A and B are shown apart, each in its own frame.
Chain A
Amino acid sequence: MATRVIAVEDVKTEVVTQAAYEHPFVVRLCHWGNAVSLFVMVGSGLQIFRAFPSFGAKIPQKDLINWPGSLALGGWLGGALQWHLTFMWIYIATGLLYLGYQVFSGNYKQVLFVRRDIPGVWPMVRHYFFFGSKPPVREAYNPLQKHAYTMAIGLGVLSVLTGLAIWKPVQFSWLTWLMGGFHWARLWHFLIMWALLAMVFGHLVMVVLHGWNNFVSMLTGWKKDPEYRSE
Chain B
Amino acid sequence: MNSPVDSRKFKSMNRRELLKLTPVVVLGAFAIPKLQVPLLKAGLGFSDWTSPKLFRSGHLAPTFRDSDLTPFDKFPINDYDVDDPEVELDKWSLTVTGAVQGPGEYTLAQIQALPKVRQNTRHVCVEGWDVVGRFGGARLADFLRTIGADPAARFITVECADDYYESLDMATAMHPQTLLCYEMYDRPLTREHGAPLRLQIPTKIGYKQAKYLTHLKVSHVLERVGYWEDQGYSEFYGL
Measured as residues with beta carbon below 8 angstroms from the partner, the interface class of chain A is 35 or more
Contact across chains for B76 and A173 when beta carbons are under 8 A apart: no
Contact across chains for B74 and A58 when beta carbons are under 8 A apart: yes
Contact across chains for B232 and A79 when beta carbons are under 8 A apart: yes
| Contact stretch, chosen from A1-9, A117-125, A134-142, A200-208 | A1-9
Cβ 8 A contact of A11, one of B3, B8, B18, B61: B8
The CA of A120 and the CA of B125, in the complex, are separated in Å by 48
Complex interface: chain A residues within 8 A of B20 (CB): 25, 28-29
Contact across chains for B13 and A11 when beta carbons are under 8 A apart: no
Contact across chains for A51 and B76 when beta carbons are under 8 A apart: no
Closest Cβ neighbor of B15 among chain A residues: A220
Contact across chains for B124 and A86 when beta carbons are under 8 A apart: no
| Contact stretch, chosen from B42-50, B145-153, B190-198, B213-221 | B42-50
Interface of B is mostly: mixed
Contact across chains for B234 and A81 when beta carbons are under 8 A apart: yes
The CA of A27 and the CA of B30, in the complex, are separated in Å by 23
Proximity bits, B76-93, A CB within 8 Å = 1, else 0: 100000000000000000
Contact across chains for A90 and B128 when beta carbons are under 8 A apart: no
Beta-carbon contacts under 8 Å, A210-229 to B:
216, 219-222
Q: How far is the CB of A112 from chain B (nearest CB, A)?
A: 24
The CA of A77 and the CA of B42, in the complex, are separated in Å by 18
Complex interface: chain B residues within 8 A of A183 (CB): 130
Contact across chains for A8 and B124 when beta carbons are under 8 A apart: no
Complex interface: chain B residues within 8 A of A222 (CB): 10, 13-14, 17
| Contact stretch, chosen from B21-29, B103-111, B155-163 | B21-29
Interface of A is mostly: helix
Contact across chains for B21 and A78 when beta carbons are under 8 A apart: no
A36 contacts B by Cβ under 8 Å: yes
Beta-carbon contacts under 8 Å, A1-49 to B:
5-11, 16, 19, 25, 28-29, 32-33, 36-37, 40, 48-49
Q: How far is the CB of B179 from chain A (nearest CB, A)?
A: 15
Closest Cβ neighbor of B9 among chain A residues: A8
B223 contacts A by Cβ under 8 Å: no
Closest Cβ neighbor of A32 among chain B residues: B24
Cβ 8 A contact of B122, one of A5, A49, A169, A221: A169
B222 contacts A by Cβ under 8 Å: no
In the complex where A169-B122, A170-B202 touch, is A85 in contact with B234 (Cβ < 8 A)? Answer: yes
Complex interface: chain B residues within 8 A of A173 (CB): 61-62
The CA of A19 and the CA of B76, in the complex, are separated in Å by 63
A83 contacts B by Cβ under 8 Å: yes
Q: How far is the CB of A218 from chain B (nearest CB, A)?
A: 10
B116 contacts A by Cβ under 8 Å: no
Contact across chains for B18 and A170 when beta carbons are under 8 A apart: no
Q: How far is the CB of A132 from chain B (nearest CB, A)?
A: 32
B203 contacts A by Cβ under 8 Å: yes
Complex interface: chain A residues within 8 A of B125 (CB): 52, 58
Complex interface: chain A residues within 8 A of B232 (CB): 78-79, 82
Contact across chains for B228 and A78 when beta carbons are under 8 A apart: yes
A87 contacts B by Cβ under 8 Å: yes
Q: How far is the CB of B25 from chain A (nearest CB, A)?
A: 9
Complex interface: chain B residues within 8 A of A51 (CB): 126-128
The CA of A177 and the CA of B142, in the complex, are separated in Å by 31
Cβ 8 A contact of B129, one of A52, A169, A230: A52
Closest Cβ neighbor of A87 among chain B residues: B43
A186 contacts B by Cβ under 8 Å: yes
Beta-carbon contacts under 8 Å, B103-141 to A:
122, 124-131
Q: Which 9 A-B pairs have the closest CB atoms?
A: A86-B43, A52-B128, A9-B4, A7-B4, A58-B129, A51-B127, A82-B40, A170-B239, A78-B232
- Report A's interface with B, CB cutoff 8 A: 5-11, 16, 19, 25, 28-29, 32-33, 36-37, 40, 48-49, 51-52, 54, 57-59, 61, 77-79, 81-83, 85-90, 168-171, 173, 177, 182-183, 186, 216, 219-222, 230
Query: Could you list 26 examples of A-B contacts with CB < 8 Å?
Result: A5-B1, A8-B6, A10-B6, A11-B8, A25-B20, A28-B20, A29-B21, A51-B126, A52-B128, A52-B129, A77-B126, A78-B232, A78-B233, A81-B44, A81-B234, A82-B40, A86-B43, A89-B47, A90-B27, A169-B124, A170-B59, A171-B59, A220-B15, A222-B14, A222-B17, A230-B1
